[in-house]
């Protein structure tokens, strides 16, 4: 599975309250949830991005609470994937369970600037920065994780397994 998009760059320790502030936990409609993605960092993030754009971050992306809405807000806003030096484990699982690809890529925060055009190969763990003509090797997503993502999330994946 390959993705392409422009990068949106953030630093280390981006917590879930910045990704999706707790005051919006009362919203459930995807369109409304999307409006508040990254609200703690950037006004109107959802209106600035293009479908398929890629969030790039440093270490410990998604730290803080284990709220699932942090991952779903990014997905509903149209983010194609999140690439980071490392992830909070709860955020990583929430992302995968909601079909938002999340891949650890050592050196990504130094090799990418905001607005760079990226191509991501999730199966092989490769990231091409077309803007800087650089290539990075990340931690490829396993077949099992890709099956969950390609199924549209964990619920759909397990429904298919059960109905078999």
The pLDDT assigned to 5 comes to 98
Domain at 2-163: CATH code: 3.20.19.10
Residues 14-40: pLDDT tens digits?
999 999 998 988 888 889 999 999 998
The pLDDT assigned to 1 comes to 84
The pLDDT assigned to 25 comes to 85
> Binning pLDDT at 50, 70 and 90, where does residue 92 land?
very high
Average pLDDT over residues 98-122: 97
The pLDDT assigned to 139 comes to 97
Query: pTM value?
Result: 0.95
The pLDDT assigned to 40 comes to 83
CB 39 within 8 A of CB 21: yes
CB 85 within 8 A of CB 108: yes
Evaluate if residue 164 carries a pLDDT over 80: no
How many Cα atoms sit within 13 Å of 12 on the Cβ side? 3
- The kind and range of the H/E element at 44 are none
> Binning pLDDT at 50, 70 and 90, where does residue 133 land?
very high
DSSP state of 23: G
Average pLDDT over residues 130-146: 97
The two structure tokens encoding residue 12: 């280390």
Residues 158 and 161: their CA atoms lie apart, in Å, by 5
Evaluate if residue 157 carries a pLDDT over 90: yes
Evaluate if residue 42 carries a pLDDT over 90: no
Nearest to 22 by CA among 65, 60, 56, 84: 65
The pLDDT assigned to 149 comes to 97
> What average pLDDT is seen over the chain?
95
What residues does each domain of the chain span? Answer: 2-163
The two structure tokens encoding residue 158: 């397990």
């Amino acid at each position: 599975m390959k993705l392409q998009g422009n990068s949106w760059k953030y630093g280390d320790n981006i917590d879930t309250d910045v990704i999706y502030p707790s005051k919006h936990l009362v919203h459930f409609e995807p369109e409304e949830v999307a409006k508040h993605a990254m609200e703690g960092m950037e006004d109107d993030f959802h209106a600035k991005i293009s479908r398929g754009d890629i969030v790039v971050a440093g270490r410990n992306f998604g730290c803080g609470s284990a709220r699932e809405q942090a991952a779903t807000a990014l997905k509903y806003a149209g983010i194609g994937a999140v690439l980071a030096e490392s992830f909070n484990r709860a955020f990583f699982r929430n992302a995968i369970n909601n079909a938002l690809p999340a891949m650890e890529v050592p050196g990504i925060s130094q090799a990418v600037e905001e607005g760079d055009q990226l191509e991501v190969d999730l199966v092989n763990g490769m990231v091409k920065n077309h803007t800087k003509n650089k290539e990075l090797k990340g931690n490829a997503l396993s077949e099992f994780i890709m099956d969950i993502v390609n199924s549209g999330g964990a619920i759909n994946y397990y429904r298919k397994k059960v109905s078999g």
